[in-house]
Structure 1
Amino acid sequence: MVIPGLTIPAKGVSAWFVETDAAGARKWLASLPLADSAAAAREIYQALYTLNRQDLEAHKRFELMELYRGPVAAVSDSLTGQLTGAAFPLTPDKLRLAEFVRQLPMEMAHGYKCCLQDLPRVLLGRGRRRVRLGAMERTLRYLGEALLRSYQVYLPAPAGVWKEIHALYRHAERGSGHLVSVGRGDGDARGGTTIQERYLQILLLGLSNPYQLPQGEAAQISRFLEHRAAGARLLQDLKISNPVGYFLVNLAADSPPVPFPRDGRIQPQPHLRALNVVELLQVLHSLIHRLQQGESARALDLGFECLESAAPDLLRRMIRSWGVTVRRAHTRLKRSGYLMLCAGVNAVHFFSGAQKPFSAAGHGEPDRPMAVPETPGPDRHRDDGGATTGSSPASVTDDDPRRQELYRIDRWQVRDVGPSGMLLAQSGASGTHVRVGDLLGFQRMTEPGRWSAGVARWLKSLTGGGLEMGVELLASSVRPVAVKPLAPRAAGDTRFVQALLLPAVEAAQRPPTLVVTRGLYQPGTDYQLLEDGLPPRRVRAQRLLERTHAFEQFVFADI
């Protein structure tokens, strides 16, 4: 069976041996040391690579590929766990690991594509149809997993993967096989799925703005879509009166769907489809409403586990991705230059405050004081997204609550700029590690001493190392302040902590705001605000503007 657009490894003779008998392969897979995931993964990869380049009857190959599914899932999940919480840019070792983890599902997809290629030679009737539909669904599954493994570490999608995904669906659609239930196999008790459902899951994952997601959320969305993607629909009729909730799928392209044109005018073509996600958006709104009414996230059967407080934020991100698409209002201008960058509320506070130790203006005990770096030391990852540099002064021990934190700044390249953001790049290792949603401080080379604030909106790892980062500008200047909640919070912690005061933005009709590390904001709470050289102020939190994993930004009022 020849499906145009599929890439299949060439057959050849290999010096490596691989079991081609199902019984022997089952015994060998059972003997693998899965507890040593790295060693087992190398063995499995070598076996798959060899198997995919040997001639083998389609039904025998299909049976073998089904045996590999469980072990491949086990080692892939284990190795992916080693990348969880990784700092970006990735180190060379982490980048090699990420690329290897992505290659495992690619080899699984190659194996099932070989089944499809060899089908005309053997099998007739129902047995042939079972293998054909099963191999197509599995190929889609593993190509989709290769995309997911890319998104989890912000790697670009492998070249040609989207084109193969579209080609498989188009071939199944022609013979009406896209609606036939296919067993999930591997002991999965959820029943069958269809090629169309699998295809919808992949399309919606690609539309979830994966490079803008905090690390780990792409996998959560993928699990959510395992049993919710059927709420979307694919249409051949392109006459759309209201394009909200619709996307255009090009089955001939090597890319995910794109937003439907606002005027709804598309010339019908055999390779074009409309993706309708309106019903799925309604489901998401309903789930958020139920959470607001007090139902637990576990009771909603979301398909993934998360903190109760995090579930509404993730559901809202899905709505923003699949709902009204906001287009960039201004043209970005290419630029060639550099700026200095730091990450984390405390780091921005430190550098924008002329690198003075934090002492809350003499009120109360210092909370996590800081000092100017004197001598470099080994980097260690910080919870608030910055990078610190080793040692404290000799008079302060590591277990002393006054232990000083030392921050790093690094030079990043500016690639383009606009009124509300910029594209930055780091070509090599960086002491300042960033994550999506981190608060950033940056100082332009032409404005020494002036620090601006922004937020990391998206990341994309570069082939061969390095990182691109999309930054949204929050404020062109910041003022370091200290705040202390005046009403006891859940944790009972009422010390002064670092905060940033962002000036009003008249063009956006946004009043002055405070930025604090996540967890400090409570609606209606009163805070004491200290600013160097000014009398203490009492302010009240009014409205939350943004919450990420790292910080909260809210509007306040003096009282």
Structure 2
Amino acid sequence: MSLTLSLPVLDARPANPPEIRPAKVFPWLDDLLTKDPVEAARIIGDSLAAINRVTMSESRRLELAERYWTTAGTLWPFLERQFARATHPLSGEALESAKAALGLAHELSVAYKRLLVREADRRLHLTGNRLLVALIHRCLQCTARVLINSYLSYSPVPTKTWLDAHAVYAFSRQRGLHQNSIAVDQPEMTPERAYLQALLLALANPYGFLPGQLATVIRYLQEFCHWAKLTDAAPVHRMAKAVAIIPVGHDFPPFSANKGGSIEGSKIFLLTFDLAFQIQEQLRALEAGGDVPAGTGRDPAARLQYIVLLKRLLRQWAIPPARQFNRLPSRARVVMCAGLSGVWQYSRGAHAGVTNLPAGLPAMTHCQVINHTPAGYALRQVDAHPTALRIGDLIALRVEGRTGLQVAMVRWFRNTLKSSGLEFGCELISDGPEAAAASAEDSPDGALTPVVVIPEDPATMGPDAAPAQMIVPAGTFGVEQAVSLRRGGVTGYAVLTKLVEQGPGFELYEFAAVG
């Protein structure tokens, strides 16, 4: 099997040849590490792009690639700190950091793919397959870094990334090298292990991760991805659960078999039955009071967030949710604002005794509807001054031409890595939010806090009806706490029965009216 990858054309006689002498390049790289990380990454990426497009000996190319890889490994943590927790759409230093990090990862991928193609074409390998296995592994490591930088910045994966990753793994499998260890003292480091981590990361719906969750999932995969298996044999049932299809020869990530669809060409199947069993056992232990892994916060909120993340991974890797409704394209426009304060004010709340009442209505910004279902919207920001957003943000939105207000939560992002143009998905919480005010039942001064009530849906009344919910400022109340609740001119009492969701600055509880 020959290996064909997506590579730029080589220029034997460049007009401005790049410096390729290690004695000159290495001190230059060391000096750049003392400069501004964003500027250094941009310059290093441009330099590597030029090197990737000129001819030279393979030994020289490998020597340079390894040094650039080491240098990039020093820079990436500094760059990530600039954009990994920023609001979106990215702008300023955060935007430049994301572009520099992704560009550098992409050029490193090109460098190692070129080395791998040349090594794969050799008929005689003087060092056995050691260098070939190392290059396969490094190519897949570069793919992982491209994916990580794309997911951290919520930006599209560069074209041909998945096409080449599938081709590299298929080549290693055909040559019987996919389970060869890279080093004697690290037998678990194999090309297949690196590929498995990339596949499972993509299947976890990473564009919907909260800040910090990507790193948690990566650590989890490093420890547990070996429970997933790759096979050429198709499952007995083409819609089987805990099975994903890897579309070799196509430029897109793996997808769950239970979502249906068909593709031409060869396929590899990812089986996650054993991994799902491990997650279920871990969840049982955690819900019985077991310890969370090292590196995870020990406080109740961090523990709950980790359990929710594990349940999400179980759902995505074992039983991905099937779409309930078809997406409908639309050209409608909506106006929106973010945050509990804006939702409360646009719900027309005005209650005597409310403390810290926000002054004035926050500005609404414009969005274009890309598509929609009864459960939510895919939106594109089109305002000259777009609203800053985070995954999990609470938003108030109104379709232009309609009077009703809707409340939703931001579930995913897709950046263009430009200063505007953010696309995002939001899940509807309510079509009829009700501004209210609440205070703890035992509060000595009875000071009221702005809250938003999500009433029960009259259309779903009965034993299976969803209970009423209340959105409150984060940290204000707790589960099983009794509160005095003022809705309109009526004051009653309620007990918060279940914490449903947490987001930036708010908590969503189910509640039951009492008295």
Could you tell me the TM-score, scaled by structure 2's length? 0.89
Report whether the alignment pairs 1:372 with 2:360: yes
Report whether the alignment pairs 1:456 with 2:410: yes
Q: Residues 324, 261 of structure 1: CA spacing in aligned structure 2 closer, same or farther, 3 A cutoff?
A: closer
Please give the alpha-carbon distance, in whole angstroms, between the structure 2 residues aligned to 1:468 and 1:157.
Answer: 15
Per the TM alignment, residue 251 of structure 1 is displaced from its structure 2 partner at its CA by 0.9
Match of 1:512 in 2: 468
Report Cα offsets for 1:376-402 as digits up to 9, x if no partner.
Answer: xxxxxxxxxxxxxxxxxxxxxxxxxxx
Q: Residues 487, 148 of structure 1: CA spacing in aligned structure 2 closer, same or farther, 3 A cutoff?
A: farther
Per the TM alignment, residue 124 of structure 1 is displaced from its structure 2 partner at its CA by 4.5
- The residue type paired with residue 351 of structure 1 is Y
Q: How does 1:114-513 map to 2 (within 5 A)?
A: 114-119=114-119, 124-125=124-125, 127=127, 129-183=129-183, 193-241=189-237, 243-261=240-258, 271-299=266-294, 307-353=302-348, 356=350, 361-362=352-353, 366=355, 368-372=356-360, 407-448=362-403, 450-462=404-416, 464=418, 465-486=420-441, 496-505=448-457, 506-507=459-460, 509-513=465-469
- Which blocks of at least 5 consecutive residues in structure 1 are unaligned? 374-406
Please give the alpha-carbon distance, in whole angstroms, between the structure 2 residues aligned to 1:163 and 1:122.
Answer: 23
Q: Residues 266, 409 of structure 1: CA spacing in aligned structure 2 closer, same or farther, 3 A cutoff?
A: closer
Per the TM alignment, residue 47 of structure 1 is displaced from its structure 2 partner at its CA by 3.0
Per the TM alignment, residue 435 of structure 1 is displaced from its structure 2 partner at its CA by 1.7
- The residue type paired with residue 416 of structure 2 is L
Q: Is the 8 A contact 2:249 2:265 kept in 1?
A: no
Paired residue secondary structure (1:339): strand
Paired residue secondary structure (2:83): coil
Q: Residues 250, 127 of structure 1: CA spacing in aligned structure 2 closer, same or farther, 3 A cutoff?
A: same
Q: Residues 514, 44 of structure 1: CA spacing in aligned structure 2 closer, same or farther, 3 A cutoff?
A: same
Please give the alpha-carbon distance, in whole angstroms, between the structure 2 residues aligned to 1:110 and 1:207.
Answer: 24
Paired residue secondary structure (1:545): strand
Q: Is the 8 A contact 1:200 1:229 kept in 2?
A: yes
Please give the alpha-carbon distance, in whole angstroms, between the structure 1 residues aligned to 2:259 and 2:373.
Answer: 24
Per the TM alignment, residue 19 of structure 1 is displaced from its structure 2 partner at its CA by 3.9
Identity %: 24
- Which blocks of at least 5 consecutive residues in structure 2 are unaligned? none
Per the TM alignment, residue 429 of structure 1 is displaced from its structure 2 partner at its CA by 4.2
Paired residue secondary structure (1:125): coil
Per the TM alignment, residue 126 of structure 1 is displaced from its structure 2 partner at its CA by 5.0
Q: Residues 258, 298 of structure 1: CA spacing in aligned structure 2 closer, same or farther, 3 A cutoff?
A: closer
Per the TM alignment, residue 55 of structure 1 is displaced from its structure 2 partner at its CA by 2.3
Match of 1:399 in 2: none
Q: Residues 61, 252 of structure 1: CA spacing in aligned structure 2 closer, same or farther, 3 A cutoff?
A: same
Deviates more, 1:155-164 or 1:116-125: 116-125
Q: How does 1:87-106 map to 2 (within 5 A)?
A: 87-91=87-91, 94-106=94-106
Q: Is the 8 A contact 2:241 2:258 kept in 1?
A: no
Q: Residues 539, 272 of structure 1: CA spacing in aligned structure 2 closer, same or farther, 3 A cutoff?
A: same
Report whether the alignment pairs 1:111 with 2:111: yes
Please give the alpha-carbon distance, in whole angstroms, between the structure 1 residues aligned to 2:327 and 2:312.
Answer: 25
Please give the alpha-carbon distance, in whole angstroms, between the structure 2 residues aligned to 1:484 and 1:301.
Answer: 32
Per the TM alignment, residue 217 of structure 1 is displaced from its structure 2 partner at its CA by 2.0
Per the TM alignment, residue 521 of structure 1 is displaced from its structure 2 partner at its CA by 4.7
Please give the alpha-carbon distance, in whole angstroms, between the structure 2 residues aligned to 1:493 and 1:279.
Answer: 55
- The residue type paired with residue 446 of structure 1 is G
Match of 2:483 in 1: 527
Please give the alpha-carbon distance, in whole angstroms, between the structure 2 residues aligned to 1:294 and 1:120.
Answer: 51
Q: CA RMSD in A?
A: 3.0
Please give the alpha-carbon distance, in whole angstroms, between the structure 1 residues aligned to 2:442 and 2:384.
Answer: 43
Report whether the alignment pairs 1:546 with 2:498: no
Q: Residues 330, 15 of structure 1: CA spacing in aligned structure 2 closer, same or farther, 3 A cutoff?
A: same
Please give the alpha-carbon distance, in whole angstroms, between the structure 2 residues aligned to 1:178 and 1:47.
Answer: 32
Q: How does 1:39-58 map to 2 (within 5 A)?
A: 39-58=39-58
Please give the alpha-carbon distance, in whole angstroms, between the structure 1 residues aligned to 2:29 and 2:145.
Answer: 21
Q: Is the 8 A contact 1:14 1:50 kept in 2?
A: no
Per the TM alignment, residue 525 of structure 1 is displaced from its structure 2 partner at its CA by 1.3
Q: Residues 323, 498 of structure 1: CA spacing in aligned structure 2 closer, same or farther, 3 A cutoff?
A: farther
Please give the alpha-carbon distance, in whole angstroms, between the structure 2 residues aligned to 1:115 and 1:26.
Answer: 20
**Number of residue pairs aligned between Structure 1 and Structure 2:** 504
Q: Is the 8 A contact 2:90 2:417 kept in 1?
A: no
